Amino acid sequence: MWPDDVADRYRASGHWTGATLFALLEARAADAGDRVAVIDGDREITYGSLTTRASRLAAGLYTLGVRPADRVVVQLPNTIAFYEVIFALFRLGAVPVFALPAHRSSEIGYFIEHTSAVAFVTTDVHEGFDHRTLADVAGDAEVIVAGDPGTHLALDALDGDPAALPDGPAPGDLAFLQLSGGSTGLPKLIPRTHDDYLYSVRESAGICGLTAASVYLVALPIGHNFTMSSPGILGVIHAGGRIVLAPRPDPATVLPLIEKHGVTITAVVPPLAHLWLDAVAGSAAKPDLSSLEVLQVGGAKLSDTVAERVRPILGCRLQQVFGMAEGLVNYTRLDDPDDVVLHTQGRPISPDDEILIVDDEDRPVSDDTVGHLLTRGPYTIRGYWNAEEHNKLAFTADGFYRTGDLVRRRPDGYLVVEGRAKDQINRGGEKIAAEEVENHLLTHPAVHDVAVVGVPDPYLGERTCAYVVARAGATAPKLSEIRAYLQGRGLAAFKIPDRVRVLDAFPVTGVGKVSRRELRAALRANPKG
């Protein structure tokens, strides 16, 4: 995954310390075993108990046949079970693949098949959806359910003697597979190692001021890279702080939790920041949010107007976070002046994060000029998992990752995100690959051609519009039909288009036929078609 000379350099510089993710938890069990690590409603678990449970679960999984390096798709909501499972897998050296609770049969089936997963760990019923029905796409993978297992294996029943476990993984081993936001027909998987991820976690915890007194609220999905590592739940475990789980991110759920548990830091996407601000500003009986020190906002571009409301309304500092599951994370620092915090997306974690901003021909542009962001560094992957062909496009020959983001670097080194060159829709922080949705829609009998693009939206930043050309003699499907059709194909709800526009033909630029990529660009530039 890493060229030897590069790995040697990161080890020599002390970035990679040779630790593993399970050892991170074990260290807390050793020095703060009685301290509460995670609170989930009226359940809580200490660092000591979490470590013991994860070890016993690892042994249970081992007895079941899960071996080091085996892939296990994990789809759990914000619950303590998530920690038990991932740390069990880290102990065993098996590789979690982090699915989102919103994923349905289309995505889950693909993850299981593409990674040859030996097990699929999910929940019973969450937000009205019975996740056990996803067993239909699990193939030979063992289905393990947190909660009521139905006809499947109960997570709670898995238990064993940790003494029977083989040695844990090496620090340079693959620790897990994270999902890319993607811009291609099928999502790419991101291979992160213990060493590289822990470096970003430790540095992030420092940048975000985490200590043993920190209380971090998980409002976003727990398996997302932001929640995991920026500084996220792993940063809190590194610092020995406390994690509070919110089952949902709406203000009515979250604001009382902040007050009750004295939450000091939490992370949201821009539409949630907007929603929380409106709820607090509009409430007659103001919740007591005096414990809150930092609101992190990332995942999509935060507007200046929302940024400016954070301190006056919530009484806490804003921290902008521009990160990606592939690696690079930028933060505004806690002591940065307002100009930086309100108007930039931060600067990289590491002095060894290499930032290149280039024009369409890969020539570097000067400061204050918008260009494509390329990056390389001690925690940015050198390639997607098993995606040799795609990697030739997504990475330069010398290992820089082409982020697909258009940014401008200020002379002070801070980055401002100005747009995107990748065929992705960023719907309020949820990433949608245009091609993935198009491929599903092209199977519809009345659809001749389709282009999916993002259209500006004041609340979500972008919404999804499908431009459809009907087959000769057929009537183009209406939005309701398209929704039902894609739902029937098992696509996650957030990927289903918000709008449909029917065109007689697609605009043709230049001579003859245009590629769908050009089409998307043309439709983005001229949404009237």
Which residues form the interface with ligand J2J (CB under 6 A)?
Answer: 181, 225-226, 229-230, 298-301, 320-325, 329, 345, 403, 405, 417, 420, 426, 431
Q: Which residue is nearest to ligand J2J (CB)?
A: 323
Q: Which is nearer to ligand J2J, 9 or 311 (CB)?
A: 311
Q: Which is nearer to ligand J2J, 98 or 485 (CB)?
A: 98
Angle at 233 between CA 31 and CA 278, to 5 degrees: 135
Determine the Cα–Cα distance for residues 78 and 98; give it in Å rounded to an integer. 13
Q: 418 phi and psi, to 5 degrees? A: -110, -10
Please check whether residue 467 is in contact with residue 487, taking contact to mean a CB–CB distance below 8 angstroms: no
Determine the Cα–Cα distance for residues 451 and 516; give it in Å rounded to an integer. 7
Helix (H) or strand (E) holding 454: strand 447-457
**Measured from the CB of residue 405, what is the shortest distance to ligand J2J in angstroms?**
5
Please check whether residue 423 is in contact with residue 433, taking contact to mean a CB–CB distance below 8 angstroms: yes
Closest by CA position to 406, among listed 476, 512, 301: 301
Q: Which is nearer to ligand J2J, 393 or 474 (CB)?
A: 393
Please enumerate in sequence order all residues whose Cβ is within 8 A of that of 431, keeping only pairs 6 or more positions apart, or say none. Answer: 181, 182, 424, 425
Please enumerate in sequence order all residues whose Cβ is within 8 A of that of 269, keeping only pairs 6 or more positions apart, or say none. Answer: 220, 297, 298, 299, 300, 428, 429, 430
Please check whether residue 345 is in contact with residue 415, taking contact to mean a CB–CB distance below 8 angstroms: yes
**Measured from the CB of residue 416, what is the shortest distance to ligand J2J in angstroms?**
9
**Measured from the CB of residue 284, what is the shortest distance to ligand J2J in angstroms?**
32
Q: Which is nearer to ligand J2J, 145 or 218 (CB)?
A: 218
**Measured from the CB of residue 406, what is the shortest distance to ligand J2J in angstroms?**
9
Q: Which is nearer to ligand J2J, 214 or 320 (CB)?
A: 320
Q: How far is CA 121 from CA 135, 147, 160, 179, 195, in A?
A: 10, 11, 18, 16, 25
Please check whether residue 333 is in contact with residue 461, taking contact to mean a CB–CB distance below 8 angstroms: no
Determine the Cα–Cα distance for residues 212 and 505; give it in Å rounded to an integer. 60
Q: Which is nearer to ligand J2J, 78 or 345 (CB)?
A: 345
Parallel/antiparallel/unpaired status of strands 36-40 and 242-245: parallel
Determine the Cα–Cα distance for residues 265 and 293; give it in Å rounded to an integer. 6
| DSSP characters over 71-93 | EEEE---SSHHHHHHHHHHHHHT
**Measured from the CB of residue 431, what is the shortest distance to ligand J2J in angstroms?**
5
**Measured from the CB of residue 161, what is the shortest distance to ligand J2J in angstroms?**
36
Please check whether residue 79 is in contact with residue 86, taking contact to mean a CB–CB distance below 8 angstroms: no
Q: Which is nearer to ligand J2J, 374 or 468 (CB)?
A: 374
Determine the Cα–Cα distance for residues 499 and 508; give it in Å rounded to an integer. 22
Determine the Cα–Cα distance for residues 100 and 228; give it in Å rounded to an integer. 13
Q: Which is nearer to ligand J2J, 109 or 181 (CB)?
A: 181
**Measured from the CB of residue 296, what is the shortest distance to ligand J2J in angstroms?**
8
Q: Which is nearer to ligand J2J, 415 or 476 (CB)?
A: 415
Q: Which is nearer to ligand J2J, 74 or 325 (CB)?
A: 325
**Measured from the CB of residue 220, what is the shortest distance to ligand J2J in angstroms?**
9
Longest CA–CA separation in the chain, Å: 72
Q: Which is nearer to ligand J2J, 138 or 417 (CB)?
A: 417
**Measured from the CB of residue 449, what is the shortest distance to ligand J2J in angstroms?**
27
Amino acid letter for position 159: D
Tokens coding 285: 């009986």
Q: Which is nearer to ligand J2J, 309 or 420 (CB)?
A: 420
Determine the Cα–Cα distance for residues 328 and 203; give it in Å rounded to an integer. 12
**Measured from the CB of residue 199, what is the shortest distance to ligand J2J in angstroms?**
13
Reduce the DSSP state of residue 238 to 3 states and report it. helix
**Measured from the CB of residue 159, what is the shortest distance to ligand J2J in angstroms?**
33
Determine the Cα–Cα distance for residues 356 and 401; give it in Å rounded to an integer. 10
**Measured from the CB of residue 270, what is the shortest distance to ligand J2J in angstroms?**
8
Determine the Cα–Cα distance for residues 232 and 203; give it in Å rounded to an integer. 12
